[in-house]
Amino acid sequence: MAAHLGLSPTTVSLVMNRSPAARGIPPETQDRVRAAAEELGYRPNFIARSLRRQRTFAVGVLLPEISEGYAAGVLAGIEDELLQEGYFYLVAGHHSKPDLFDDYLQLLTERSVEGLILVNTPIDEPLPLPAVVVAGHRELTGVTNVAIDHQVAARLALAHLAELGHRRIAFFKGHAHSADTEARWQAIVAASRELGLEIDSRLTLQLSGGPAGEQFSPEEGYREGHVFGRRLIETGARFTALFAFNDISAIGAMRALSEAGLRIPDEVAVVGFDDILSAAFQNPSLTTVRQPLHEMGRRAAAELLRKLAAPDKDSPPAITIEPTLVVRDSTGPAPDRA
């Protein structure tokens, strides 16, 4: 390549390896190098580079499932940040099975990933590699948690419903295996107390999720929301609003409520959580607490790369991300106010 272009091997190497030092090379020279590489079919030898540098530039990502919604949003942010910095990632879904989690952790370690990003995956002890956890909620030595501010999220949703006159609010709590479940529920309890709202145990249902693995299928999530929506009606307790654990269960519940003859939002207001892509395209469109999932993934990846670049520097135990409320057509005034 260098002989073909009349350049030094160092110049070609800096451009082809996307080195930060390549910024000092004129853009037209960089374009010549890339054009010649394409013409000659030249590719750097990744294995040789890894052996020479003792680096793989690879990161492992572990999460419960690989699907639309929450996981896809976080992964997109992780991918954008890693690719921008010249890193590759390997991703695996452990379906909340401890033995599968251990197997994947070992496999990723054997493949010499330099660090780990865990998404919605509770852990009880430090990991063998530098790690960042999205929605971890536990303080562990050397592990940084990237999490949404659940107190703000609960206050946003419940204050919105209270301002519309809703006092009888039903709740879907998260699955027992979700890292966010307990933190979000405690935030809801505190916000309800602050706003003078009473939580009726008859109107508080915890999503079950079924056997490990099934709970993470979007189809199962919609179906479960539908089943729990019917259960709310069967309690016979009056309610004018539902605050669901996530958008998928909220959408399933909206269908069950509509099938029962209840008009949304005229008779029942519904609020979800996450702001997945399809939330805006429901009928009616779903009011929801938006988790900036892409930003959470990007920040997690950026923090992990910072750890890898400066392992001797202290890392923050937590990075808190602010949520926002997206008001759409699924919420309106309580029936006695309409």
Measured CA to CA, the distance from residue 120 to residue 65 in angstroms comes to 10
Q: Which CATH class is domain 56-148+294-321?
A: alpha beta
Q: Is 190 exposed, middle or buried (0-12, 13-18, 19+ CB in 10 A)?
A: middle
pLDDT < 50 positions in the chain: 210-216
Measured CA to CA, the distance from residue 140 to residue 130 in angstroms comes to 12
The confidence score (pLDDT) of residue 211 equals 38
Measured CA to CA, the distance from residue 124 to residue 131 in angstroms comes to 13
What is the SS3 string spanning the chain?
A: CHHHHCCCHHHHHHHHCCCHHHHHCCHHHHHHHHHHHHHHCCCCCHHHHHHHHCCCCEEEEEECCCCCCHHHHHHHHHHHHHHHCCCEEEEEECCCCHHHHHHHHHHHHHCCCCEEEEECCCCCCCCCCCEEEECCCCCCCCEEEEEECHHHHHHHHHHHHHHCCCCCEEEEECCCCCCCHHHHHHHHHHHHHHHCCCCCHHHEEECCCCCCCHHHCHHHHHHHHHHHHHHHHHCCCCCCEEECCCHHHHHHHHHHHHHCCCCCCCCCEEEEEECCHHHHHCCCCCEEEECCHHHHHHHHHHHHHHHHHCCCCCCCCEEEECCEEECCCCCCCCCCCC
Ordered by start, the domain boundaries in the chain are 2-44, 56-148+294-321, 150-291
Distances (CA, A) of 241 to 137, 221, 254, 338: 28, 20, 11, 14
Measured CA to CA, the distance from residue 101 to residue 111 in angstroms comes to 15
Q: In this structure, are residues 37 and 31 in contact, taking their beta carbons and an 8 Å threshold? A: no
Report the half-sphere exposure of 203 (CA within 13 A, side-chain side).
19
Domain 150-291 annotated CATH 3.40.50.10490: no
Measured CA to CA, the distance from residue 41 to residue 33 in angstroms comes to 12
The confidence score (pLDDT) of residue 95 equals 85
Measured CA to CA, the distance from residue 77 to residue 296 in angstroms comes to 7
The confidence score (pLDDT) of residue 68 equals 67
State the chain's mean pLDDT as an integer.
Answer: 89
Measured CA to CA, the distance from residue 82 to residue 85 in angstroms comes to 5
Q: Enter the tokens of residue 211.
A: 């056997």
Rg (CA), the chain: 24
Domains 56-148+294-321 and 150-291 share a fold: yes
173 phi/psi in degrees, rounded to 5: -80, 160
Q: In this structure, are residues 100 and 289 in contact, taking their beta carbons and an 8 Å threshold? A: no
The confidence score (pLDDT) of residue 214 equals 38
Beta 115-119 vs 58-63: how paired, if at all? parallel
The confidence score (pLDDT) of residue 215 equals 42
pLDDT in tens, 113-136: 999 999 988 888 888 899 999 987
The confidence score (pLDDT) of residue 46 equals 61
pLDDT in tens, 197-253: 999 999 999 988 643 333 445 566 678 888 888 899 898 999 999 999 999 899 999
The confidence score (pLDDT) of residue 118 equals 95
